[in-house]
Structure formats: structure tokens, C-alpha cells
Structure 1
Amino acid sequence: MSRYDLKPKAHSGAIAVVVGWDRPLQTYFAQVFTPTQGEPDQGEATTWLGTEPGELPTPEAAIAVVVRYAEIPATLASDLEADMRATMGVEDGTHQAEAKRGLFDSFH
């Protein structure tokens, strides 16, 4: 799995923005955290996509989720693509395969 913490844009309402690649789910993911009364500094993930197998199939799909909230580095799409390619051929371990069967009734 990879994870990139992006710089939130001023006045976007976000306090943290994250994108990355999740090899077990074979999807990119995107998260936007906004402040809450209970946790004004850490916030809550008010946007979180990429929790289902294959939900965000490309780096561009993940970036599109967060582009209004964060500054996007010029190399982010290629970095995410490289992260995915680096995990090609890696198989799930016993516990990952078992968890997928329980959650998704499959071996995605």
C-alpha cells in the first residue's frame, strides 16, 4: 500500500487530504478530512473512496476526488501508477485472502 499526504488548499475546508494505492483491494483510494467539534485538529474522513475492490481503477480517478481540496504534485499520477506496478504479481497472504472471502465473498 502507498499513501501520499497532500497539502490542503486554503479555504477548502480540508485539514488533511490523502491518496494512495491499496494492493489487496486493487484500487486507488482518496480521503478528505475535515474538522469536527470533537476532533478539530485530526478531523473526520468526510470523503473516503476506494474501499471496495477496483472502485478507483486509475490514479486520475483518485486525484479527481481530491483536486478541489488539495494541491496536486505534478508527479502524483505517475508516482501512484509506479506504486501499483510495483505490486503486480504480489499475492494475498492467508489472512488477506480469508478477510476478502468474508468481506466480499471473493478473492479479488
Structure 2
Amino acid sequence: MTQHFLTPKDPEAANVVMIGHDRVLGTFFAQVYKDTGADPNLVLWEGSARGQLPYANQVIDLVRDHAHIPDKLWEALDHDRARAAFRTAEEANAVTHWSPTARVEPEHDADSTHA
């Protein structure tokens, strides 16, 4: 399943907002919680049933009050759904972080470049 970590609007209430697409269940999902260490305080968890949230706009609407929604998020989620059957294991389990306005590109380790 793909995972998109969004920037919370109120980190004191919920400091983790994650949405994504689960290929096996054929649904988008959303988890919003306050990470307290051992036992997170769950605020919202939707999309755990087969086909529960078939459209990207549904999952975005669920977290809109909890996270900043970047302009390109819907496009990224729709791409996740459309490509689900064709993804490699690495692509299917991709983790993406978002700032309030855009995708955060991962930093590349200088040691990982090929000589």
C-alpha cells in the first residue's frame, strides 16, 4: 500500500496524518493519530474494508480538517489507484512526505551514488 504523510494542521491534537491506497483491498485509507510512543491516540481510521473508499477525493475529504492538502495530492493518489495492478513491490509500498504545499523530495545519500 502506498503511504502519503501530510503536514498536520494541529500537531498537538494529531501529529500523524497518513493516507494512501491499498491495492489488495481496493480502497483508499486514512489514519490520523497522536503518536504518544507506546500507544497512539487514534483520531480517525477509515478505509479498512474492501472497496470502502474507492475515490481519492473521499479520503482527502476525511482528513481535510486535520492536515494541509497540497494541490498535487489528488493527482498523486489517483495515480496510485490507477497504477496499482502494475506496480513493483517497491512502488506499491512507496512512502511520500508532503509539506503544506508540495511533495517533499527525499534527500539522496552521497554514498549511494554509483562510481
* Fold agreement, TM-score > 0.5: yes
Q: Once superposed, which parts of structure 1, at least 4 consecutive aligned residues long, lie more than 3 Å away?
A: none
1:13 aligns with 2:13: yes
Residue in structure 1 matched with residue 56 of structure 2 by the alignment: 59
Percent identity between the two aligned chains: 32
Normalization by structure 2: what TM-score? Answer: 0.67
Flag structure 1 segments of 5+ consecutive residues without an equivalent: 91-108
Normalization by structure 1: what TM-score? Answer: 0.71
- CA offsets 1:55-107 (integer angstroms, 9 cap, x no match): 111000001110000001111111001011111368xxxxxxxxxxxxxxxxx
Structure 1 residues 16 and 41: CA distance shift in structure 2, 3 A:
farther
Over the residues paired in the alignment, what is the CA RMSD in angstroms?
2.2
Structure with more strand by fraction: 2
8 Å CA contact 1:12–1:68 kept in 2: the answer is: no
1:79 aligns with 2:76: yes
How many residues are matched? 87
Alpha-carbon distance between aligned partners in 2 of 1:42 and 1:69, rounded to the nearest angstrom: 20
1:43 alignment partner, one of 40, 44, 61? 40
Structure 1 residues 89 and 14: CA distance shift in structure 2, 3 A:
same
Q: Higher relative contact order at CA 8 Å, sep ≥6: structure 1 or structure 2? A: 2
